[in-house]
Amino acid sequence: MSTPPDAPATTAPATTAPGADAEPLVHIAGFRMDFGRTTVIRDLSFDIARGETFGFLGSNGSGKTTTIRALLGIYQPTAGVLHIDGKEFSPETGERLGYLPEERGLYKKESVIDVMVYFGRLKGLGAEQARRWSRDYLERVGIGEKEKIRLDKLSGGQQQKVQLGVTIMNQPELLILDEPTKGFDPVNRRLLMDIIDDQKRAGSTVMMVTHQMEEVERLCDRVILLKDGVSRAYGTVSEVQEQFGGTVVHVDHDGAVPASPDYRIAKDQGGHAELEVANDADTAAILRSLVEAGLHITRFAPTRKSLDDIFVEVYGASSREED
C-alpha cells in the first residue's frame, strides 16, 4: 500500500450543533497515523458536540475504522490529540460508551437471552434488570420469541438486532455505530433509525459510520467525509451540500440546453437535464434564459445536491458499488 499524496485538510466551517457552545464530547486534533512507512491518517481534526448525531463517512480504506480504534485506545496515534470528554480513552471512559464494531462479536453457541444478560452484567446491570431490559428490547425489535434460541440459529439481521441491544443497554453517553444497518431490510432499517432517535432523545451522543446516505440526511446534525485519511468535507449536511455546488436543477424540456456560466450541464438526455448551478447564480434568471433560448419546459425543479451524489463525486462510482 502506497502513502497517499499530500492534500490539505478541509477547514471546518462555522456550524451549529447541539451543545456547540460547550466543550465537545469528542475532540480530535492533528491526528496522524502511520503504519511503518505508510501514512493512513494525515492531520485530521474534528469535534463531536454533546447530544448530536455525527456522520463519519468514507469509502472502504479511507481511515474511518483506524480513527475509531485510535480514539478507543486500541491504536497508539503517531501524532495528535484524541479525547473523549476531555481525556484519552481509559477503562473508566468505557463504562459510558457503547460501541458497535463492523466486525460483530457475540457468543453464538449460547441463547440470545443468556448472551444479553451476560453483557448486561458486564455493563453494571443486575441480572434481573438486564433480563427485563433484554426481553422488552427483543419484543420491540420483533424477535421476542427467539430469546431461548442459540444465536447461531438466527439470521444475520436478527443477530445484528441482538448486537445493537447489547450496545445500547447501558444507555451510553457516547454511542459509536459502525455500519449499524448492515444486513437489514428497509423495514428493519427504519426501526433501527427510530431506536437511534430514541437514544439521542435520552441524551446519547451518536457517532455513526454508514454508507446509507438517506440515513445520514435523516439522522445526522453534522458530517465529515474522509478520503485517503484526509478530511474532504466537514459541517452540517447543508454546508457540505454547499461545498459541492449546492443546487441542482432538474429540467424536463424539448430542445437542446445551451451552455452558460450560470450552470454546468451534468446530464442532458431523453428530454431531461440536470444543471449544477454556480454558487452566485439565480435559478429564476436561469429559467428565464432557457425560455428565451427557445426551450419548451414542462418541469423546472431546483433541489439540493444529494449526499449520495456527493459521495459518488468524492469517491467515484466504483467505491459506492463496493460499499
pLDDT at 107: 82
Of the candidates 78, 37, 54, 1, which has an alpha carbon nearest to the alpha carbon of residue 237? 54
Output the pTM of the full model: 0.77
Question: Are residues 99 and 91 in contact, defined by beta-carbon separation less than 8 angstroms?
Answer: no
Q: What string of H, E and C letters represents the secondary structure of 84-136? A: ECCECCCHHHHCCEEEECCCCCCCCCCEHHHHHHHHHHHCCCCHHHHHHHHHH
Cα–Cα distance measured from residue 208 to residue 181, given in angstroms and rounded to the nearest whole number: 11
**Which residue ranges of the chain lie beneath pLDDT 70?**
1-21, 104, 245-246, 317-323
* Grid-cell match 474511518, residue found: 64
Question: Are residues 135 and 113 in contact, defined by beta-carbon separation less than 8 angstroms?
Answer: yes
The DSSP code for 44 is: E
Q: What string of H, E and C letters represents the secondary structure of 221-254? A: CEEEEEECCEEEEEEEHHHHHHHCCCEEEEEEEE
Residue type present at position 72: L
Cα–Cα distance measured from residue 206 to residue 126, given in angstroms and rounded to the nearest whole number: 25
pLDDT at 253: 93
Q: Please report how the helices 186-201 and 156-168 are oriented relative to each other, as an axis angle in degrees rounded to 10.
A: 0
Cα–Cα distance measured from residue 71 to residue 64, given in angstroms and rounded to the nearest whole number: 11
Q: CB within 8 A of 139, min separation 6: which ones?
A: none
Question: Are residues 151 and 108 in contact, defined by beta-carbon separation less than 8 angstroms?
Answer: yes
Cα torsion 47, 51, 52, 54: sign? positive
Cα–Cα distance measured from residue 130 to residue 114, given in angstroms and rounded to the nearest whole number: 10
**Which residues pair with residue 226 across a beta bridge?**
231
Pairing mode, strands 230-236 and 222-227: antiparallel
